[in-house]
Amino acid sequence: MIFTRCDPERDLETIKEIERREYPADEAASDAALEFRAREANEFFMVAKATTEDDAAPGDIIGYVCGTLLPSDELTAESMRPGAHVVGGSTLAIHSVCVRRHLQRRGHGSTLVREYAHNWVFNAHGGGATSGVRSIRLLCKPARTAFYLRAGFVLVGPSRVVHGADAWNECVITETTARDDRS
Give average pLDDT by consecutive 10-residue segment, the chain, 183 residues: 93 95 88 94 93 78 93 80 81 91 80 88 60 86 92 89 78 78 56
Residue 109 and residue 147 in contact, taking contact as beta carbons nearer than 8 Å: yes
Residue 128: predicted pLDDT: 46
Torsion of CA 66, 69, 73, 78, to 10 degrees: -90
What is the DSSP code (8-state) at residue 172? E
Number of H helices, E strands in the chain: 5, 7
Looking at residue 73, the DSSP 8-state letter turns out to be: S
CA distance 60 to 51: 8
Q: Are 140 and 152 in contact (CB under 8 A)?
A: no
pLDDT at 179: 64
CB 111 within 8 A of CB 74: no
Residue 9: per-residue pLDDT? 95
Q: How far apart are CA 90 and CA 71, in angstroms?
A: 7
Domains of the chain by start residue, with CATH? 2-135 (3.40.630.30)
Burial class (CB in 10 A: 0-12, 13-18, 19+), 110: middle
Phi and psi at 177, nearest 5°, equal -60, -45
Q: Which amino acid does the sequence have at 146?
A: A
Distance (Å, rounded) from C-alpha 99 to C-alpha 104?
6
- CA dihedral in degrees (37, 157, 63, 80; nearest 10)? -10
